[in-house]
Amino acid sequence: MTGPDPTPLPLDRLTLRGGSEAAALRVGERRWTYAELEQAVGAMASDLRALGLEQGDRVASWMGKTAFACIAPLACARAGLVHVPINPVLRRAQAEHILEDSAARLLVANRARLETLEVRPEQAIALEEWKEGGEALPPSDHAPGTLAALLYTSGSTGRPKGVMLSHSNLWLGAVSVAHYLGLGAGDRTLAVLPLAFDYGQNQLLSTWYAGGEAIAFDYLLPRDVMKAVGRTQATVLAGVPPLWVQLAEQEWGTGGASLRTLTNSGGHMPEPLVRRLRTLFPQARLHLMYGLTEAFRSASLDPALADAKPDSVGTAIPFAELSVRRANGSEAAPGEEGELVHAGPLVAQGYWKDPERTAQRFRDGEVWSGDRAVVGADGLLRIRGRDDAMIKVSGHRVSPSEVEEAALASGAVEECVALGVKDERLGQRIVLVAVARGGGAEERLKGWLAAELPAHLRPSEIRWVENLPLSPNGKIDRAALQAELTR
């Protein structure tokens, strides 16, 4: 296989990758050919411009996998705008933070979601009222380094921050993934992951680079995914470990016979689960991968090694440069644990309006991941854990402070700490250790969190204590609490 083309192009030119009459996108019962997708992208770009939006303005979308959500990343790119997708599982408070932080000038969302907001951008349009009518704009010639998207991701402290991604970042991410997965024009990708994730959005972009068909699909139950695979004869399916756990429990029979490429990222896949998937789908190549939003995707294990090396995430993907470093910045020896550092053209431009945190994570064109890793004698990368307190629930990166702020806002707790505990199904689950304020604290807190937080941010357990332990310097001793939970 020859190497992928390293020349980035404007993101909206992905519509030109497939044959004009070839299938490009399917949403429900509606399908678009590549020619029709090109027309739709141009028309939406024209309509966005007609709203008075200017170069670099942020456009937010808050919805499931509608046609608008699938086309908006390319349409915004063509119009010279910056797309800000908001995960549809988020609630009012999280959406308002993203809208305020990004200074979005336009929000397009389902009417029901719009009505929950207390603060909106200067222009807010219900999806049900969005109509196309403009004359399609032609493919753009934006410089590859032009900002194209803000993807909000949680850190170990503070609220979600916007990772700045350029046309080049997104284009080369699509090229890289299409190349190492071996995607082609005959592939049909069942896109089940949220489009607000870089991993989820790339389901569309890499498929379009390869000239294949992306099938947008929102599901309620894992059985829905199984049925959709059979109905669409999907060949590619991406997931995170908790979803794979659920899918592995289904009775597939011959329903997954069309699948030829399976991918996992967003957390470590336990070896028994790898074995189960290999048994269920022996004809499919299983790619065990690793990545982070700040550097998109970084590593993938050769599927031929999945049976023998299921604890590894492999080696660097095209355009990614990886190294394991000691605290002083020098490169760790083989077998020596250190921090995983990313370099190359997939590395993002930093955090939106946050030079302090950008300087902490991005250094001299590299991004320091916070992940502990080791390269074994076999040359393969293995992830050991994180330096920070990030909690990873069902593939979602959860900031403890987000949970803690919501709990404190309820008025039911004096102080609290959110911690992650290992869970076989979720990867991790959230345990909130709290000091009560007033009577009926548990009932009040649970009601508040159910109304204010999406499911993946809600604690699975609340432990009530009289006081939180303090470290010698007077800070809450998170390490002591974590140790208590893991005894």
Residue range(s) defining the domain that contains residue 453 = 391-485
Q: Which two tokens stand for residue 170?
A: 């997104």
End residue of a domain, out of 383, 414, 431: 383
Task: Specify whether 406 is located in the same domain as 449.
Answer: yes
Q: How many CA atoms lie within 13 A of 82 on its CB side?
A: 23
**Would residue 314 count as lying in a domain?**
yes
Within a domain: 224: yes
Alpha carbon separation from 42 to 56, 67, 80 (Å, rounded):
17, 14, 12
Q: What is the pLDDT of residue 123?
A: 97
Q: Are residues 189 and 319 in the same domain?
A: yes
In a domain, 76, yes or no: yes
Final residue belonging to a domain, choices 354, 383, 412: 383
CATH number for the domain that contains residue 416? 3.30.300.30
Inside any domain, residue 471: yes
CA nearest to 415, candidates 437, 393, 431, 443: 437
Contact status, residue 275 vs residue 267, Cβ threshold 8 Å: no
Question: Is residue 1 assigned to a domain?
Answer: no
Give yes or no for a contact between 408 and 435, defined as CB atoms under 8 angstroms apart: no
Question: What integer pLDDT is reported at residue 442 of this predicted model?
Answer: 96
Do both 269 and 350 map to the same domain?
A: yes
If asked whether residues 181 and 304 sit together in one domain, one would say yes
Q: For tokens 């959230």, what's the residue?
A: 430
Residues 240 and 364 in one domain: yes
Q: Are residues 45 and 90 in the same domain?
A: yes
For residues 66 and 193, membership in a common domain is answered with yes
Q: Do you know the residue count of the chain?
A: 487
Asked whether residue 2 is domain-assigned, the answer is no
Q: Which two tokens stand for residue 92?
A: 């009012």
Order of strands, edge to edge, in the sheet holding 213-216?
30-33, 23-27, 213-216, 188-191, 236-239, 261-264, 285-292, 296-300, 315-316
pLDDT string in tens for the chain (487-residue length): 578 999 999 999 999 999 999 999 999 999 999 999 999 999 999 999 999 999 999 999 999 999 999 999 999 999 999 999 999 999 999 999 999 999 999 999 999 999 999 999 999 999 999 988 879 999 999 999 999 999 998 765 568 899 999 999 999 999 999 999 999 999 999 999 999 999 999 999 999 999 999 999 999 999 999 999 999 999 999 999 889 989 999 999 999 999 999 999 988 888 889 999 999 999 999 999 999 999 988 999 999 999 999 999 999 999 999 999 999 999 999 999 999 999 999 999 999 999 999 999 999 999 999 988 999 999 999 998 776 677 889 888 888 888 998 998 999 998 899 999 999 888 899 999 999 999 999 999 999 999 999 999 999 999 999 988 986 556 788 888 988 888 7
Is 3 inside any structural domain? no
How far from each other are the two terminal CA atoms of the chain, in whole angstroms?
50
How much is the pTM? Answer: 0.89
Structural contact between residues 148 and 82, judged by C-beta atoms closer than 8 angstroms: yes
Say if residues 207 and 236 touch (Cβ distance below 8 Å). Answer: yes
Q: For position 348, what pLDDT does the model report?
A: 98
319 and 192 within one domain: yes
Say whether both 406 and 356 belong to one domain. no
Distance (Å, whole) CA 183 – CA 198: 18
Reported in sequence order, the residue ranges of 403-465 that DSSP labels E, i.e. its strands, are 413-423, 427-436, 461-464
Give the end of a domain, one of 383, 407, 423: 383
Shared domain check, 89 and 34: yes
Reference 197, options 99, 122, 87; nearest CA is 87
Q: Report how many domains make up the chain.
A: 2
Query: Do residues 211 and 182 both lie within one domain?
Result: yes
> Considering just the CA atoms, what is the radius of gyration of the chain in Å?
22
Q: What confidence score (pLDDT) does residue 475 get?
A: 73
CATH of the domain at 203: 3.40.50.12780
Are 244 and 176 in a shared domain?
yes
In a domain, 319, yes or no: yes
